[in-house]
Amino acid sequence: QVQLQESGPGLVRPSETLSLTCTVSGGSVSAFYWSWLRQPPGKGLEWIGYIYHSGSSNYSPSLKSRLTMSIDTPKNQFSMTLTSVTAADTALYFCARNPKGAYDFWGPGMLVTVSS
Amino acid sequence: DIQMTQSPSSLSASLGDRVTITCRPSEVVSNYLNWYQQKPGKAPKLLIFRTSSLEGGVPSRFSASGSGTEFTLTISGLQPEDFATYFCQQNYELPHTFGQGTKLEFK
Does pLDDT of A69 surpass 90?
yes
Chain B contacts in chain A segment 97-116 (CB below 8 A) = 98, 100-104, 106-109
Neighbour-count burial of A108, counting CB atoms closer than 10 A to its CB (0-12 exposed, 13-18 middle, 19+ buried): middle
Quick check: B101 contacting A, CB < 8 Å?
yes
Share of chain A above pLDDT 70, in %: 100
CB-defined contacts A:B, below 8 A: 55
pLDDT tens for residues B2-39?
A: 999 999 999 999 999 999 999 999 999 999 999 999 99
Q: What is the spatial distance between Cα A97 and Cα A106, in angstroms, rounded to a whole number? A: 7
Does pLDDT of A106 surpass 90?
yes
pLDDT tens for residues B30-47?
A: 999 999 999 999 999 999
Does pLDDT of A23 surpass 80?
yes
Q: What is the spatial distance between Cα B105 and Cα B10, in angstroms, rounded to a whole number? A: 7
Quick check: A61 contacting B, CB < 8 Å?
yes
pLDDT of amino acid A101: 86
Per-residue pLDDT averaged across A95-109, rounded? 94
Mean pLDDT (chain A) is: 96
Per-residue pLDDT averaged across A69-91, rounded? 97
pLDDT of amino acid A99: 83
- A79, A17 Cβ separation under 8 angstroms: no
Nearest residue to B47 via CA among B81, B94, B11, B16: B81
Does pLDDT of A3 surpass 90?
yes
pLDDT tens for residues B50-64?
A: 999 999 999 999 999
pLDDT tens for residues B67-107?
A: 999 999 999 999 999 999 999 999 999 999 999 999 999 99
